[in-house]
């Protein structure tokens, strides 16, 4: 079989910068290839060259057998490319957008309407065919853009980080669509910042500084991991991680929500030392067990091998902690946030419906919900940007309805878009925000020095912000948001689209600020990140549907039980398993499947019988603690079932 995507020595240079350096790559029809790498690794540049959008400096590439340089028009007839920016027309309806792309691709008008309706059914978008694209949620926009790309049935699909900023329900829908395309022999190349998504690919490639460091199946790539993994689950995981880094003779410790991964060359020695250390400090924990590395473990390990200076993630590094010394305004000693029956209506539409919660000082409070659930509306009210329709709320003791200007002066806010001025340099952005917050003289110079240090931009302080990678922009935006040392920070999806190394470094900063008494209010669609929070609230259709610690949500509030299924070609048997009487739902989770069941023993028996009928003899099936993604999806679907 000939590869549908083929690249040999593909290179792209921008003056002194080599963005892609001799890339060799092939993807077959009916295969998903995942391209992962840190910000600025060359992923987008690689996809643009393969899509005939950007001319390479050297090397060759073919799509469906046609040269991307000499036969660009033929390539584009057989290719669909989905960029990070929505290529939709906000004023056109869903159906009109798809029809417009059908015109662009030269799809025959005969039978076109039926074909569009098939795609709408395929993506669960038919109920929204008359809705304007501008009124869709982020997840629905992503699915619509994919449908527009598929309207001409391409041979090759290039996807550049397609699920950034998309909630778990929409992400599952998106991947279900991709798996169906494999049965039509479409070759899919997807770049992603989500390493759990990379686990779902047939093969993955780790790209760094324009070079492929590793290529293979997820299981093959995991064999590159230096050392073994010991896993410890504990409500005090943050403290355990710090202690192990300080006292244990090992390669390091990585925090994953309520779990710590110890990377070690000597398993038994580290196991003994960890038990003694935790006993000495009186820290409660579950079992310590050896665990297969995740792709994220491997990702960080391989990058540390190649560029240790770029990947150090240490909350105690010089400049990583802000000197937050100010007291709360009005000597406010109560909760940082208090909300009672807060409501916001837009005409007859109730965007937020009588929500109530409180956030103590120094807590990391996670606010979760699908696209369009009401998260941003709540944050805008709490930040004094939007006036509530009903109910009450205070931030640092200031009333959200009556004292919005005082709230704005005492909070930090970082949006998903980073709120930076791209045509200003790093230093000019910091000066601008310092001026807004009333900083001047030696105090501004002191805070500016801290900000540049924290963002890791000493060598780039005079660089244009537009030239920074997403991870650097993220840390610069955070530095600007907390330049005036606010006692509470609102972070709206702050790590959307950044790589795992940048994400870990960012959360080290959040932890260090929380330890100093700063309150962190964060929204996220990255469910592993949700586990890093002290408490979580889940909002859906404008209502709070769950509130508690991550452990409480997974054990007390989550009523469903989860079976983890590991076997070859898991995605091919999803539909068979989901039709079983004992199985409520099946979804891809990492490299395997998660099945939602009520009776575990009966469900396992049914699943094993079905696997045998499908010719799968070897499979591991075990009950596992629900992940936050399982909890999120289960609670959303429970509301849908009860409310219709």
Digit-coded pLDDT (tens) for 95-127 = 999 999 999 888 899 889 988 988 888 777 888
Range in 280-284, 374-378, 454-458, 626-630 the model is least confident about:
454-458
Q: Which residues contact 21 (CB under 8 A, 6 or more apart)?
A: 11, 42, 209, 210, 211
How many separate helices (H) and strands (E) can be counted in the chain?
23, 28
Digit-coded pLDDT (tens) for 390-403 = 999 999 999 999 99
Digit-coded pLDDT (tens) for 163-184 = 877 778 778 888 888 888 888 8
Averaged pLDDT of the chain: 86
Using CB atoms within 10 Å of the CB of residue 417, give its burial: 0 to 12 exposed, 13 to 18 middle, 19+ buried. Answer: exposed
The H or E element containing residue 346 is strand 337-346
Assess whether pLDDT exceeds 60 at residue 314: no
Average pLDDT over residues 8-12: 96
pLDDT confidence of residue 100: 93
Assess whether pLDDT exceeds 90 at residue 404: yes
CA-to-CA distance for 511 and 450, rounded, in angstroms?
17
pLDDT confidence of residue 333: 60
**Higher-confidence position of 389 and 177:** 389
**Higher-confidence position of 290 and 472:** 290
pLDDT confidence of residue 535: 93
The H or E element containing residue 27 is strand 17-27
Using CB atoms within 10 Å of the CB of residue 192, give its burial: 0 to 12 exposed, 13 to 18 middle, 19+ buried. Answer: buried
The answer to whether 5-218 and 551-643 have equal CATH topology is no
Range in 80-94, 315-329, 375-389, 473-487 the model is least confident about:
315-329
Give start and end residues of each alpha helix (H) in 516-624: 527-530, 550-552, 574-578, 600-613
Assess whether pLDDT exceeds 50 at residue 315: no
pLDDT confidence of residue 211: 92
Digit-coded pLDDT (tens) for 479-512 = 888 888 899 999 988 877 677 777 777 888 888 8
The H or E element containing residue 6 is strand 5-14
Q: Which residues contact 569 (CB under 8 A, 6 or more apart)?
A: 616
User: 2-6, 540-544, 607-611 — which one is most confidently predicted on average?
Assistant: 2-6
Q: What is the DSSP letter of 460?
A: G
Global pTM value:
0.81
pLDDT confidence of residue 617: 80
Average pLDDT over residues 587-595: 83
Q: Positive or negative CA dihedral for 428, 430, 432, 438?
A: negative
Q: Which CATH architecture has domain 226-292?
A: 2-Layer Sandwich (3.30)
Assess whether pLDDT exceeds 50 at residue 320: no
Yes or no: say if 554 and 385 are a contact pair by the CB < 8 Å rule: no
Average pLDDT over residues 582-604: 87
Look up tokens 């909300």; give the residue: 339
How far from chain centre, in Å, is Cα 144? 20
Digit-coded pLDDT (tens) for 530-543 = 888 999 999 998 99
pLDDT over 90 percentage in the chain: 38
pLDDT confidence of residue 67: 94
Digit-coded pLDDT (tens) for 543-568 = 999 999 988 888 887 777 899 998 87
Using CB atoms within 10 Å of the CB of residue 282, give its burial: 0 to 12 exposed, 13 to 18 middle, 19+ buried. Answer: exposed
Average pLDDT over residues 587-612: 88
CA-to-CA distance for 629 and 574, rounded, in angstroms?
18
pLDDT over 70 percentage in the chain: 94
Assess whether pLDDT exceeds 60 at residue 321: no
Digit-coded pLDDT (tens) for 21-48 = 999 999 999 999 999 987 778 999 999 9
Range in 202-216, 217-231, 316-330, 618-632 the model is least confident about:
316-330
Topology, domain 329-547: Rossmann fold (3.40.50)
Domain ranges of the chain: 5-218, 226-292, 329-547, 551-643
Assess whether pLDDT exceeds 80 at residue 358: yes
Assess whether pLDDT exceeds 60 at residue 330: no
pLDDT confidence of residue 318: 35
Digit-coded pLDDT (tens) for 270-311 = 999 999 999 999 998 888 989 888 888 888 888 777 655 444
pLDDT confidence of residue 311: 40
Instruction: Please tell us whether the domain made up of 5-218 is placed in CATH 3.40.50.300.
Output: yes
Instruction: Please tell us whether the domain made up of 551-643 is placed in CATH 3.30.70.920.
Output: yes
Q: How confident is the model at residue 259 (pLDDT cuts 50, 70, 90)?
A: confident
Assess whether pLDDT exceeds 70 at residue 50: yes
pLDDT confidence of residue 497: 67
């Amino acid at each position: 079989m000939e590869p549908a995507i083929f690249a040999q020595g593909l290179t792209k240079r921008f003056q002194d910068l080599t963005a892609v350096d001799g890339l060799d790559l092939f993807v077959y029809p009916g295969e998903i290839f995942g391209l992962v790498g840190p910000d600025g690794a060359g992923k987008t540049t690689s996809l643009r060259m393969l899509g005939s959008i950007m001319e390479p400096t050297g090397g060759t590439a073919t799509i469906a057998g046609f040269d991307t340089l000499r036969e660009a028009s033929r390539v584009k007839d057989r290719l669909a490319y989905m960029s990070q920016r929505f290529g939709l027309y906000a004023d056109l309806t869903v159906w009109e957008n798809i029809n417009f792309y059908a015109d662009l691709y030269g799809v025959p008008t005969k039978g076109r309407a039926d074909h569009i309706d098939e795609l709408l059914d395929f993506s669960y978008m038919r109920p929204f065919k008359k809705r304007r694209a501008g009124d869709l949620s982020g997840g629905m926009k992503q699915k619509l853009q994919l449908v527009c790309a598929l309207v001409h049935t391409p041979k090759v699909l290039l996807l550049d980080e397609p699920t950034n900023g998309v909630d778990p329900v929409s992400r599952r829908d998106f991947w279900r669509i991709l798996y169906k395309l494999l049965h039509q022999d479409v070759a899919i190349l997807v770049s992603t910042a989500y390493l759990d998504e990379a686990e779902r690919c047939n093969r993955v490639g780790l790209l760094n500084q324009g070079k492929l460091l590793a290529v293979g199946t997820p299981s093959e790539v995991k064999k590159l991991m230096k050392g073994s993994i010991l896993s410890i689950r504990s409500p005090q995981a943050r403290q355990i991680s710090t202690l192990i880094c300080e006292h244990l003779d090992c390669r390091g410790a990585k925090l994953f929500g309520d779990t710590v991964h110890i990377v070690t060359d000597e398993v038994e020695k580290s196991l003994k030392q960890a038990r003694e250390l935790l006993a000495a400090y009186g820290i409660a924990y579950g079992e310590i067990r050896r665990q297969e590395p995740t792709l994220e473990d491997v990702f960080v390990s391989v990058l540390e091998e190649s560029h240790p200076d770029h990947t150090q993630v240490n909350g105690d590094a010089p400049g990583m902690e802000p000197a937050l010394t100010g007291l709360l305004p009005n000597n406010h000693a109560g909760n940082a946030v208090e909300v009672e029956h807060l409501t916001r209506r837009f005409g007859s539409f109730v965007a937020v419906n009588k929500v109530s919660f409180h956030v103590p000082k120094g807590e990391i409070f996670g606010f979760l919900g699908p696209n369009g659930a009401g998260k941003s509306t709540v944050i805008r009210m709490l930040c004094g940007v939007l006036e509530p329709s009903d109910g009450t709320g205070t931030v640092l003791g200031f009333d959200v309805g009556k004292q919005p200007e005082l709230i704005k002066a005492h909070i930090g806010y970082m949006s998903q878009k980073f709120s930076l001025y791209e045509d200003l340099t790093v230093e000019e952005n910091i000066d601008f925000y310092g001026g807004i917050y009333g900083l001047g003289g030696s105090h501004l110079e002191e805070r500016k020095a801290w900000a540049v240090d924290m963002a890791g931009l000493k060598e780039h302080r005079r660089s244009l912000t537009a030239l920074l990678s997403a991870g650097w922009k993220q840390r610069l935006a955070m530095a600007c948001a907390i330049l005036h040392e606010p006692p509470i920070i609102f972070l709206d999806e702050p790590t959307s689209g950044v790589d795992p190394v940048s994400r870990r470094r960012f959360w080290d900063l959040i932890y260090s600020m929380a330890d100093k008494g700063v309150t962190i209010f964060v929204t996220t669609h990255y469910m592993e990140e949700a586990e890093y929070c002290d408490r979580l609230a889940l909002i859906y259709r404008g209502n709070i549907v769950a509130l508690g610690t991550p452990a409480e949500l997974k054990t007390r509030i989550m009523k469903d039980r989860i079976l983890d299924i590991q076997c070859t070609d898991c995605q091919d048997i999803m539909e068979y398993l989901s039709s079983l009487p004992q199985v409520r739902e099946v979804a891809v989770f990492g490299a395997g499947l998660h099945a939602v069941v009520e009776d575990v023993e009966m469900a396992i028996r049914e699943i094993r019988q079905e696997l045998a009928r499908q010719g799968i003899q070897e499979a591991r099936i075990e009950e596992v603690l629900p992940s936050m993604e399982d909890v999120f999806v289960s609670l959303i679907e429970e509301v849908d079932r009860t409310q219709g």
